[in-house]
Amino acid sequence: MKIGELAALVGVSTRTVRHYHHLGLLPEPPRLSNGYREYRLRDAVILARVRRLAELGLALDEIRDVLADDQGKELREVLLELDADLAAQQEAIRLRRERLATLLTEDDLHPDSAVSPTMASVLRGLPAGGSKFAEFDREMLALVDTTAGPGDREAFAELLRPLTTPEALARGEAIYARLDELAEAAPDDPRVTELAAEIADHLPEEMKTMMLASVGDHPAEATENGRWLAEMSLSLAPAQAEVFHVLMTMLRAKPADHAKEDE
């Protein structure tokens, strides 16, 4: 047999046969006077063995070891290991398909939608399109979702849950609209203080606590979360950043009872 016939017989490419020679899986047969390899049935038997194991998913060097060892014990071990490996892959694929299925039920599908289910339920509460600021918020929440560990994710979602009630959503939409309006405004625009007060008014207590803890009393005490807030401000328009600056000042000044004063 020449190499093409052998390959056709077993159902592989000639490249594959030569590759197996290179790896030492299949011994080099004697050559004809023209340099062609001359195979016999024995080689087809070996090649078929290699293919069967390869089709089970064994790596080629594992196959070499198994065939070299020439006793069934190692084969069983390798197959068991392979099975465990395949089981793990199977599970990984299953999880990904599960997430994909969840994602595909979403009718408004964009790259920031691919977050944990917990965060997805929060994101659903944001206005669909139109608000630049809401879009920004979505990005931030998605970022937090991928950076945080599972525990933090749950805790964070818990903080945000009060904002998913129907009333909070309606207020949120209005607040986003007003933040959008400030995109081109000056930092000393009167609407800045108004808006900050409004936000302070309706922010859940736990969020205030967390935000205060994040930034500390002096800039030097800023935690990692505080650096985040600072970084975020850099992405905002000046007046929008000022809203948050004023907001933080308010929270620092009247940690618990600003609501009474605002009334």
Nearest approach, Cβ of 216 to a second copy (angstroms)? Answer: 20
Instruction: Round to the nearest angstrom and report the end-to-end CA distance of the chain.
Output: 96
Q: Which of 68, 86, 155, 259 binds a second copy (CB under 8 A)?
A: 86
220 DSSP 8-state letter: G
Nearest approach, Cβ of 87 to DNA (angstroms)? Answer: 18
Question: Which of the ranges 22-30, 43-51, 178-186, 208-216 carries the binding residues for a second copy, by CB under 8 A?
Answer: 43-51
> Which CB sits closer to a second copy, 87 or 256?
87
Q: Which of 26, 37, 160, 196 binds DNA (CB under 7 A)?
A: 37
Pick the closest to residue 14 from 47, 49, 40, 54 (CA basis).
47
* Positions of E strands within 41-153: none
Beta bridge partners of 37: 31
Q: Which of 11, 15, 130, 158 binds DNA (CB under 7 A)?
A: 15
SS3 31: strand
Question: Which of the ranges 35-43, 65-73, 144-152, 157-165 carries the binding residues for DNA, by CB under 7 A?
Answer: 35-43
Pick the closest to residue 121 from 88, 150, 180, 163 (CA basis).
163
d(C-alpha 136, C-alpha 62), whole Å: 51
250 DSSP 8-state letter: H
- Kindly report the length of the chain: 263
Write out the residues near a second copy by the rule CB under 8 A: 1, 9-11, 40-42, 44-45, 48-49, 51-53, 55-57, 66-67, 72, 75-76, 79-80, 82-83, 86-87, 89-90, 93-94, 96-97, 99-101, 103-104, 108-112, 114-115, 139-140, 142-143, 146-147, 228, 231-232, 234-235
